[in-house]
Amino acid sequence: MKIVVCVKQIQNPEIPAAQFRIDEEAKVLIPVSGLSPVLSPFDEQAIEAALRIRDRAGENSDIEITVVTIASKGSRTAIKGALALGADNAVLLNEPTFDGSGGYVTARNLAETIRAIGDVDLILTGRQAADGDAGVVGLGIAEILDIPAITFACDVQTDEGVVTVKRVLQDGIETVEADLPALVTISNELGKVRHASMRETMRAAKKPVKEWMPEDIGLDDNQVSSKAMRHELQRLYIPVNDIECEFIDGDTPAEIAATLAQHMRQANLI
């Protein structure tokens, strides 16, 4: 069984807000210097979901996990990280003008890459990238490839050509199944992800990485980057927050709590 996991490399989303900066003129993120890019956390969980499927299938399974990414400027970090976690091989679509293309173009390029890989049974993506926060690409790939898609998974199992997915709902869990090939987007409720082991990290360097140019998979100029884009970024900015925080003091927890309770009463909330 062939599993493809689509991954994206981003600036660490856990940085303090004070370090986060935007170039409003160029409408781009100003990278924090000295900070290495990371795998988008939801994508890391998508890799984990694939590894759990392979673990369950046992040592001698025929499961092959391929990570796929689109890179503009030498962004191999995502791939290296994914291979060190245990993926078998990787495909990198090298598209120099890719940055900022948006979900519409990304989904198209990834769908064509997956088509070119061929005979893929299961495609896993994060529920959304932790920078754009759009949650568009996974569903887009499924629509383009005309295969069923199941979103927000916290558990993915495969058996005899069927994928069974537990989905996180606001008030519970829904179990959904579909025949393969299918696409599943993974949510953070999947739980803890493994760390790269020393052994896998050393092996990762020897794992095959294919680098394709758009023309290698039949994508012409009109299908990549700016020519294919359907959206135009008009503005990118950090919203201003002009709230002044008034601190409530007191000598004891009871005194502080009493002041807070009084405030709540004055606001007619008690």
Partner 1 sequence: MTDNNNGVLVVVEVEDNQPIDLGLEMLALARRLTDSMGGSVTAVAFGTGLETIGEMLIAYGADRVLINDNQIFANFHAEAWLPDLAKIVAELAPTIVLIGHSESGTDLAPRLAFRLDVDVATGCESIDILNGRPHMTRSCFGGLAREVVTFSKSPAVATIRSKSQQPLKPTTERSGGVENVISVLDVNSIRTRVVSREQEEAVGGVKMENAKIVIGGGVGLGGPEGFKTLNEIAELVDGAVGASRAACDLDWCPRSYQIGLSGRTVAPELYLAVGISGASHHMAGCGNSKTIVSINSDPKAEIFKSSRFGIVGNSQEIMPALAEEIRKLKA
Binding to partner 1 (CB under 8 A) within 139-178 occurs at 139-140, 142-144, 147-152, 164, 168-178
Whether 66 and 7 have beta carbons less than 8 Å apart is answered as no
Q: Does 269 bind partner 1 (CB under 8 A)?
A: yes
From the list 72-80, 84-92, 200-208, 245-253, the region that binds partner 1 by CB under 8 A is 245-253
Q: Does 107 bind partner 1 (CB under 8 A)?
A: yes
Q: Report the nearest approach of partner 1 to the CB of residue 210 (Å).
A: 26
Q: What is the CA radius of gyration of the chain?
A: 22
Residue 111 exposure: Cα atoms within 13 Å on the Cβ side = 22
Peptide bond into 181 cis (omega under 30): yes
Q: How many CB atoms neighbour CB 260 within 10 A?
A: 12
Q: Does 62 bind partner 1 (CB under 8 A)?
A: no
Helix, strand, or coil (residue 159): strand
Q: Which is nearer to partner 1, 16 or 34 (CB)?
A: 16
Q: Report the nearest approach of partner 1 to the CB of residue 43 (Å).
A: 14
Amino acid at 154: C
From the list 55-63, 66-74, 82-90, 188-196, the region that binds partner 1 by CB under 8 A is 188-196
Q: Does 59 bind partner 1 (CB under 8 A)?
A: no
CA gap 111, 150 in Å, rounded: 16
Q: How far is CA 149 from CA 9, 15, 49, 85, 249, in A?
A: 23, 32, 16, 25, 53
Binding letters toward partner 1, positions 4-43, x by CB under 8 A:
---------xx-xx--x-x----x-x--------------
**Which residues between 109 and 138 bind partner 1 (CB under 8 A)?**
127-128, 130-136, 138
